[in-house]
Amino acid sequence: MGFKEEIERRRTFGIISHPDAGKTTLTEKLLLFGGAIHIAGAVKSNKIKKTATSDFMEIERQRGISVATSVMGFEYGGVKINILDTPGHQDFAEDTFRTLTACDCVIIVVDAAKGVETQTRKLMQVCRMRKTPVMVFINKLDRPAQDPFDLLDEIEKELQIQVNPLSWPIGNGETFRGVYNLFDEGLYLFSPGGQTLPEGIEIRDLNSPDLEKYVGERAAAGLRENIELIREVYPGIDRQEYLEAQVAPFFFGSALNNFGIKELLDCFIRIAPSPLPRETEERTVRADEEKFTGFVFKIHANMDPNHRDRIAFVKICSGTFRRNTNYLHVRSNKMLKFSTPTAFMASKKSIIDEAYPGDIIGLHDTGNFKIGDTLTEGEKLHFKGIPSFSPELFKYIENADPMKSKQLAKGVDQLMDEGVAQLFVNQFNGRKLIGTVGALQFEVIEYRLLHEYGASCRWENLNLYKACWLEALDEKELAEFKKHKAQYMAKDKQGRDVFLADSAYILQMAQENYKKLVFHFTSEF
């Protein structure tokens, strides 16, 4: 197969949602349909020891939530699919925002009973900002749910995007019978509760008397009426409008019971984009360029605790990546060669010889990489849009075991490189403080330091409002500011000046009094 064909057959997408909407369960079922796994794991299950493939960290298995993005690749219908399953919990939103930079499109999962929730709105904002094509999967139809037309209206209003239903449910909760697929005009009825792939009953003609036989007269009449109404209100899907992020195709189903998943997947591989062009500070990079380029969007330490390995996740943007070939690490201006690049199935890895645009590969990292780093065949490029956000929660970190100070230092260093949280050193007293966007991150850091590095830590609360990166238009003014605010000055891991404002009022006064300083709330400026 040629280079262009390899690009055309790749689809890289992220699955995003509010916590508990069923995102990780949907990921499992997509892998099941793709033949990548043979039994779907229960995400929340104490009685059954099988856990979700994408939740590979011990803390994820215990909590039943995703706390880190995982990458899974599989083949389906001649198409190579790369799924990035992101954390839904708002405390890990930063990992999700960064992961969206590596996605060419997104599937948003919405709970049919709860509708649009806070985290879904925030994530959609990021998609809108980047003009990322979006599909919506309305999940949990096997439970009592809102009226489907109400859900369509709510999503149009809340997510500010036009919707176009490509499947329609028959009932919900106990009356749920299946979905009618408007995209390929077929009706699929499944028996609930099956953990294996269900056999669909296919009825092509909605006027067929067989419909009453399977769903009953009332449901059949309701379905015919709804489909007629939908066809009048919503035109057929325009792929170009979807690719330009103006319209979101809509699917209904139940991930837990395999309802509607195949319809979503079949439509997805036909209309979703192959790898899209990427913006760099210097120029636009197209996927079909011959020379290799890629960027690091995530670093994960200790994916395999037995080997203490650190993996940099690289999204390939153009050209072909080849094993044992020298590539330029732009930030350090060094040539690096990789003998064991890997493809992912969550924590399972397999060594690959080459990879194409759209693929996500793992490179073993001995400390060379930071999030946002670029690899090329020699050209100096810097990919845009991979920021660190201003943290809002802060704690001093202290060593709880003097015998393990080296382990603690190494653990903190590696976890901060992952982007789990941010490390600042207070310039006044030299103490290390950790800043996060969510309280749960402190628990994850403490748990991982203990279980992955054998180091125990203590936290000391610190009441601060925000950390802002400083950009000086006048060096004298910066020096004066640092003198006056010595107690509130820190350096980040890259040695940049950071102001730790202890209240919104103090920050506002600083901005008014020091006009030649720019206060940034993301690290990318």
Percent helix, strand, coil in the chain, to 5, is: 30, 30, 40
Residue with structure tokens 């709804």? Answer: 226
Query: Do residues 59 and 79 both lie within one domain?
Result: yes
304 in a structural domain: yes
Q: Which CATH number goes with the domain that contains 70? A: 3.40.50.300
Residues 249 and 129: their CA atoms lie apart, in Å, by 19
Q: What is the pLDDT of residues 20-77, one digit of tens each?
A: 788 778 888 888 877 654 444 433 333 333 445 444 455 545 544 444 456 788 888 8
Number of structural domains found in the chain: 3
The mean pLDDT of 218-242, rounded to a whole number, is 87
The reply to whether 361 and 420 lie within a common domain is: no
Q: What is the mean predicted confidence (pLDDT) over 70-87?
A: 82
pLDDT at 349 over 70: no
Domain contains 217: no
Residue 200 is assigned to a structural domain of this protein: no
Residue 317: pLDDT band (50, 70, 90) is very high
Counted residue by residue, the chain has a size of 525
Asked if residue 466 and residue 435 are part of one domain, the reply reads yes
Res. 524 pLDDT band, cuts 50 70 90: low
Same domain, 344 and 397: no
Give a yes or no: residue 182 inside a domain.
Answer: no
Residue 180: pLDDT band with limits 50, 70, 90: confident
Q: Are 10 and 148 members of one domain?
A: yes
Query: pLDDT tens-digit profile of 114-132?
Result: 988 877 887 888 788 778 9
Same domain, 470 and 419: yes
Write the secondary structure of 9-33 as one string of H (helix), E (strand) and C (coil): CEEEEEEEECCCCCHHHHHHHHHHH
Domain residue limits at 122:
3-174+235-271
CATH number where 422 lies:
3.30.70.3280
When the pLDDT of each residue in the chain is averaged and rounded to a whole number, the result is: 82
Task: For residue 187, tell me if it sits in a domain.
Answer: no
Of 167-171, 344-348, 502-506, the range with the highest mean pLDDT is 502-506
Task: Please determine, for residue 194, whether its predicted confidence score (pLDDT) is greater than 60.
Answer: no
| Single residue among 271, 296, 316 that ends a domain in this structure | 271
Least confident range of 40-49, 308-317, 411-420:
40-49
Report in angstroms the alpha-carbon separations of 23 from 131, 139, 168, 399.
Answer: 22, 9, 20, 37
Owner of token pair 């000391």: 460
Which residues, including other chains, have CB under 8 Å from residue 24's CB and lie 6 or more apart?
43, 52, 54, 55, 66, 85
Regarding whether 303 and 415 lie in a shared domain, the answer is no
Residues 6+ apart with CB under 8 A from 327: 292, 321, 335, 336, 337, 338, 375, 376, 377
Shared domain check, 284 and 362: yes
Q: Which of 306, 236, 349 is nearest to 451 (CA)?
A: 306
Of 48-52, 479-483, 486-490, minimum mean pLDDT range: 48-52
Do 339 and 400 fall within a single domain?
no
